[in-house]
A and B are shown apart, each in its own frame.
Chain A
């Protein structure tokens, strides 16, 4: 089984809809991250969490929210999707001191 899983892998939704992207990990890491990838911009950090009660905004958190339901689960929500949120989204975990990092396979989201 993969260390980090993301569901769904692909999603097409309409403007204004609420959507949730889910991430689960089996590494036992406390630190989890959500990134979005856009051509020419690399990966930009949306939110990150150091444990269930510690949630932090990244560079581009506007329009997004997150929930850390358990150590192993970190969900990203778009409350009202807009077309410029069309992107590839990655979840990642990190072990102590960044010596171990694991990325999920990505979720391709298209907002029409």
Chain B
């Protein structure tokens, strides 16, 4: 079965500190992986995606993620966060075998001054 696990429900961090949001996926077939951001009272915005090729993927707003097939992980990182990065972040996977986009439960990132 296809599933996505986000290992932290909440991540508090101080402004200008680095952050990593963790995501693990499971699928018996090859997958595409995505990170979305949802700012308060807004819809979903695509941050970045891994389809194939380089395992390090760069996205918008200074975020990047690394696809690790052996560890079935796709962790999201940013070297220095801003107050404006406060939002909920969702990891998602798409498997051609299932033809569905499956989401993790989300990680709430709170950036403090």
Contact = CB atoms under 8 A, between A and B. Distances in A.
Interface of A: 31, 33, 35, 40-45, 48, 50, 58, 90, 92, 94, 97-99, 101, 103-106
B101 A41 contact: no
Given A90-B43, A106-B43, A33 B106 contact: no
A42 B106 contact: yes
Nearest to B10: A40
Contacts of A50: 99
Contacts of B94: 94, 98
B41 to A, nearest CB: 9
A23 to B, nearest CB: 13
B103 A43 contact: yes
Interface of B: 6, 9, 32, 34, 43-44, 46, 51, 90, 92, 94, 96, 99-106
6 contacts: A41-B105, A48-B100, A90-B44, A97-B32, A98-B101, A101-B101
Nearest to A59: B102
Contacts of B44: 43, 90, 103
Given A104-B43, A106-B43, A45 B100 contact: yes
A42 B104 contact: yes
Contact of B101 (A33, A40, A105): A33
Contacts of B90: 42-43
Contacts of A98: 32, 94, 96, 101
A38 to B, nearest CB: 10
Contact of B43 (A31, A45, A97, A105): A105
Nearest to B6: A42
A44 B46 contact: no
